[in-house]
Amino acid sequence: MKTTINKQDNLIVAVLEGELDTAAAQDVEKALQPLFTADRRDILFDCSGLEYIASSGLRILISILKSARSQGRKVIMRDVNDDIKNVFKLTGFINLFEFE
pLDDT digit string (tens) for 36-73?
Answer: 887 789 999 999 999 999 999 999 999 999 999 999 99
Predicted pLDDT of residue 39: 78
Q: What are the Cα distances from residue 69, in Å, to 17, 81, 90?
A: 24, 24, 23
**How many other CB atoms are there within 10 angstroms of residue 3's CB atom?**
18
Element (H, E) at 19: strand 11-20
Predicted pLDDT of residue 20: 97
Predicted pLDDT of residue 59: 97
- Rounded to two decimals, the pTM is 0.94
Residue 22 has pLDDT above 80, yes or no: yes
Task: Provide the H-helix boundaries in 1-100.
Answer: 22-31, 55-70, 82-91
